[in-house]
Structure 1
Amino acid sequence: MKQKGFTLVELMLVIAILGILVSVAVPAYQKNVAKGNRGDGMGTLLEIMRAQENFFANEFTYTTDLTQLNYNAAQASASGKYSITAKKCGENADEPLTQCVLLTATAQAGQAADGNLTLDSRGNRTHGSKNTWPK
């Protein structure tokens, strides 16, 4: 009588192949999730900068207080993966806030490895150590 079923070697081979597939698929998935969260952070920065420009048109100055723009003092992106803050641009503390404002999206929790995002009112953008946003 011939027995039906899988041998232990066949079963181990299938498990090894599945392990290889998972080791390739999981990092690719995590990279795409980080990219999607980054898009949320960039969108939030652009939205807040638009509000800064509207504020500037009325007050002739920018603000570091996001509550004046109808946002929370510690505004987060929609996904909660970034915390947004505003400050003066540059190293010159004497430069008036009428010249430039810098928005920073600080990556939170699992997004931290992807790096922070910045946008200033002069159009300069950074992502981590790069002087531009990824496409």
Structure 2
Amino acid sequence: MSKLSSMNGRGPREVMGFTLIELMIVVAVIAVLASIAYPSYTAQVRKSKRAAAKAELVEYAQRAERQHTLNNSYTNFKFVENSGTTIASPRDGSKPMYQVTFASANANAFTITAVPQGDQAKDPCGTISVNQAGVKTPANTSALDCW
């Protein structure tokens, strides 16, 4: 008997390691865990991007209120970033997740709407908006916790 086999108590033909079946079981378990975790992960990513868009909507509503305080009208409100009434969200230059639009029906009313773009369109809340009265609405009213 060789010194190696006598030192570890195993016979000369016993080799330490994993069998192919054991490795396949581990791969199958990892695949099941990944199939459960990935949808949850993508849902949380969408939720965090929606939270960023909601924060921007509230910020724009505050800016519009300042405009109304100074000019007694919402009609000439423009986004500071691009001097227009439509802007992409997020503003950091990354891939746009929402298209934000300011619409003023008259001098005393406005609605700021965020329409999801790309993969964010799969968000169950869909289009979210806020108006001059602070009313926050998702387009999909059956979705809870949108705001």
- TM-score bracket relative to the smaller structure: 0.7 to 0.9
Quick check: 1:77–1:84 contact (8 Å CA) kept in 2? yes
Q: Spell out the pairing of 1:83-98 with structure 2 (5 A cutoff).
A: 83-88=99-104, 97-98=106-107
**What's the counterpart of residue 126 of structure 1?**
137
Quick check: 1:64–1:87 contact (8 Å CA) kept in 2? no
- Equivalent residue pairs, number: 126
Residues 24 and 65 (structure 1), Cα distance of their counterparts in 2 relative to 1, 3 Å cut: same
Please tell me whether residue 12 in structure 1 is matched to residue 24 in structure 2: yes
AA matched with 1:106? V
Which of 55, 61, 65 is 1:43 aligned to? Answer: 55
In the alignment, the residues of structure 2 paired with residue 110 and residue 40 of structure 1 have an alpha-carbon distance, to the nearest angstrom, of: 15
AA matched with 2:116? A
Please tell me whether residue 107 in structure 1 is matched to residue 126 in structure 2: no
Unaligned runs of 5+ in 1: 90-96
Question: TM (normalized to structure 2)?
Answer: 0.76
AA matched with 1:117? I
Residue identity over aligned pairs, in percent, reads: 29
Deviation at 1:8, TM superposition (A): 1.6
- The alignment yields a C-alpha RMSD, in angstroms, of 2.0
AA matched with 2:99? S
Larger radius of gyration: 2
SS at match of 1:39: helix
In the alignment, the residues of structure 2 paired with residue 133 and residue 64 of structure 1 have an alpha-carbon distance, to the nearest angstrom, of: 33
Quick check: 1:118–1:127 contact (8 Å CA) kept in 2? yes
Deviation at 1:98, TM superposition (A): 2.3
Q: Which runs of 4+ in 1 moved over 4 A?
A: none
In the alignment, the residues of structure 1 paired with residue 145 and residue 57 of structure 2 have an alpha-carbon distance, to the nearest angstrom, of: 12
Unaligned runs of 5+ in 2: 1-12
